[in-house]
Chain A
Amino acid sequence: MSKTIKNTNGFTKREIFILILLMQILLSTLAVVYYCYAELGIFADYFQIVDPSYLVVMLLIVCGTLGGLGLYWFKEMSIIEEQEKTYELQSTKLRQMMEANDLLSSQKHDFLNSLQVIWGLAVLNDKEKVVNYIQKLTDNLKCDKIEITGIKKDESPYLYTLLINKLHKCKGLSIDVDLELHDVEKLEFINPIDIVNIFGNLIDNAIYEVSKLSLDARKICIDIYEEDGYIHAEVFNKGPHINDEVIDKMFLKGFTTKGSDGSGIGLYNVKNIVEKYNGTISVSSEEEYGINFHIMFSDYGKNFVR
């Protein structure tokens, strides 16, 4: 890129710096050789010789000026190099974002097509075909016909079905799940899609963390309760301790500890959704205890735009 940053004479700043350096070398060597010739008496008598002291002063002035200029151009070069690095980084980020955007667009397109099919089948009241179609979409959606205490299928169908699906997943991974669902109906002020996003992400993260542990340590607790005028939701897992530095960055977009398995979007979305409903989310992690995600909503009686 430096080759493209040219001044009016067609020289890049790097080339000007090189030229100044070369000029300085030339003048210095010329002066030294000249001085040696004069001192050794090699010059002929009829030549007008420059006085050595005058030569030294001239050399100092010229080299000082050129040195100053060189330093200035060097500084300019450093600034340009830094800018080039920033541009390159931005360009890489932009390219990655565009690729991600393309991928998301194509996925959204496919997803909308599938939703249209599901909607059509639902309108036709063909429940079996709906189930089969969704089953084909993902092999992750399997559930047992079980009843969950503390939650009514008709009042909170979305959270109910999500929990059934996650319980089935936990069963397959031998994870012990403890559900303490007391005041689920108080969450009805939240858009069902947002509820699914919050609990889906938190439970998936918990499953990911405990699945790395030994079979006897695999435990997840999900609590929903009202206390002191607040509605609380806690998702606890027996996962390994995480330090404060990770906790601070946990909700930042793009931050993940899962490597290539993670996207760094889940917890970022959860935090945004919680804050949309004037809620707070906090994380606590203790050695040999586990990790607890604690969500609190104070304004659960108010109407939000759903």
Chain B
Amino acid sequence: MIFLSNFIHAWFFCIAPLTLFNYKPTLRQHMLFTLVYGFSVYLSRRIYEILPVPFGTHTFILIAISVALFVFVCKVSFKISLLCSIIVFIVLVVSDGIISLPVMNLLNITIKSYDESVLHRAIVLSLGIVPLVIMVLVGKLVNIKKQLKSAL
């Protein structure tokens, strides 16, 4: 279950920034992105067990992987991929700071318990998905506005 939660996160991670830039990946592209990125999230978090690197290194690895996936899987230009990745990470980090952090502090959730408890992971994951869902909605709203403007 904990392993599968990475793919839910990956699913929204793919669609949120692309909707903002009005890119519509095919289902196949979306599935492939989710699969590869989900695995990457899982594996990058295991890096601390193998290498003596400081915590947080996985974020930079994931930025690089997400850029590559946007380029090679979703066929988006490098420029847009870079923008997509940076924007989505800014949103995630900001939401971590203003939503996840107070909740985790309140419920005494630590990174250790996040890795081990399904409930804790579900709470943090759902909190992390909220800004991505908002991004999708904002993206759709902006696109609808643009379409209406061009139709008028």
Contact = CB atoms under 8 A, between A and B. Distances in A.
Nearest to B93: A29
A37 B56 CA distance: 11
13 contacts: A11-B79, A19-B83, A22-B83, A26-B93, A29-B94, A33-B96, A36-B97, A37-B101, A40-B101, A40-B105, A44-B110, A48-B55, A49-B54
Nearest to B112: A44
Given A23-B86, A25-B90, A50 B111 contact: no
B68 interface: no
Given A36-B101, A40-B101, A44-B115, A15 B93 contact: no
Contacts of A37: 101, 111
Contact of A30 (B59, B78, B79, B105): B59
Given A19-B82, A48-B54, A42 B94 contact: no
B56 A34 contact: yes
B101 A33 contact: yes
A45 B87 contact: no
Given A22-B83, A33-B96, A50 B55 contact: yes
Contact of A42 (B48, B86, B87, B104): B104
A78 B59 CA distance: 34
**Chain B: interface residue count, which band?**
20 to 34
B84 to A, nearest CB: 11
Contacts, number: 69
Interface in A12-45: 15, 18-19, 22-23, 25-26, 29-30, 32-34, 36-37, 40-45
Interface of B: 48, 52-56, 59, 78-79, 82-83, 86-87, 89-90, 93-94, 96-97, 101, 104-105, 109-112, 115
Question: Which of B87, B93, B96, B104 has the most chain A CB within a 10 Å cutoff?
Answer: B93
Contacts of A157: none
Given A42-B111, A46-B112, A29 B90 contact: yes
Contact of B90 (A22, A32, A34, A49): A22
A30 B56 contact: yes
Given A37-B101, A48-B53, 15 more contacts: A10-B78, A18-B83, A19-B82, A22-B90, A26-B89, A29-B94, A29-B97, A30-B93, A34-B56, A42-B111, A43-B110, A45-B112, A48-B54, A49-B55, A50-B55
B93 A43 contact: no
A33 B87 CA distance: 16
A23 B105 CA distance: 27
A47 B111 contact: yes
Contacts of A23: 86
A187 B7 CA distance: 98
A22 B86 contact: yes
Contacts of A25: 90
B89 to A, nearest CB: 6
A236 to B, nearest CB: 61
A26 B66 CA distance: 15
Contacts of B59: 30
Nearest to B52: A48
A34 B112 CA distance: 15
A19 B59 CA distance: 18
Contacts of B86: 19, 22-23, 26
Query: Which of A15, A45, A47 has the largest count of B CB atoms less than 10 A from its CB?
Result: A47
Contacts of B101: 33, 36-37, 40, 42
B77 to A, nearest CB: 8
Contacts of A50: 54-56
Contacts of B54: 47-50
Contacts of A45: 112
Contacts of B79: 10-11, 15
Q: Which 7 A-B pairs have the closest CB atoms?
A: A44-B112, A47-B55, A33-B97, A50-B54, A29-B93, A22-B86, A44-B111
